[in-house]
Amino acid sequence: MLYAIIIIGSWLMTTCGIFVFLTLSNTEKPLGYGRYSDSLATTRTLPPTISWMIQGFPSFIIPFYLYWTNQHLTEYGSFLTCLMTFHYAYRSFVYPFIINSDNQSPVKIVIMAFGFSVLNGFIQGTWNAFYQPEFDTLHPKFFVFLGAWLFVIGFITHCVSDLHLITLRNDYLNSYSIPRGHYFEYISCPNYFGECLQWIGYALAARSFPAIAFAFFIVCNLAPRAMSHHKWYQKMFGEQYPRDRHALVPGVW
């Protein structure tokens, strides 16, 4: 029964990824949060610190509970859960307190993100605990190590990019300016690139349907958002914005 629920949840996540990609790619108006938030359009909003904590917490606490109660059948499943909880500990308990933004998030968007986080935390955590095998012919060590390294490189990339953007806004009195240095010389959204790389690495290491479904959703969600940011920068700064920068993938797109 649990196995069937995980598989259904993974298919639901995959379907949501397609829906999100098509929706964000075929609308001129991005989701109303962050730099696109309009406090006059809705009175039901939450400050960024609270919204970020709420959104990421289920994807942290559910796998963490399974790890803490030692319910994992394999050490490798436990390792994958550690990767999950490490990322979402940062997203839930570190990033919300260092972000330098007054942009409010609509409650309805926070609720949707919370619901997705519950689904993600459940299917990743339970799969890793009860169904993730140890190394075998389906999980050769080459793919495991490659995936783990991609996860680490992606995490470092998106953390450094986050901190760079936060520092930039501090320097310019909470206003927007053209990011310079690091991966920002090549793409507009290296934070999104790093997160995509991170979860693709996780999926490669796990080679499970839930992990692949989540990586697929992340790319479907962040790719059109990266393009929205890219166009926003171009519109905001005009000819001053570097023409050779791409949106998400250096030298490609």
Helix H or strand E segment including 6: helix 2-25
pTM: 0.91
**Structure confidence at residue 26 (pLDDT):** 80
Helix H or strand E segment including 46: strand 45-46
**Structure confidence at residue 253 (pLDDT):** 85
Give the three-state DSSP class for 98. helix
What single DSSP character describes residue 91?
I
Nearest to 36 by CA among 192, 225, 162: 225
**Structure confidence at residue 102 (pLDDT):** 76
**Structure confidence at residue 172 (pLDDT):** 53
**Structure confidence at residue 136 (pLDDT):** 66
Residues in the chain with pLDDT values less than 50:
39-40, 173
Give the three-state DSSP class for 136. coil
**Structure confidence at residue 251 (pLDDT):** 86
**Structure confidence at residue 210 (pLDDT):** 97
**Structure confidence at residue 38 (pLDDT):** 54
Domain layout of the chain by residue ranges? 34-134, 135-253
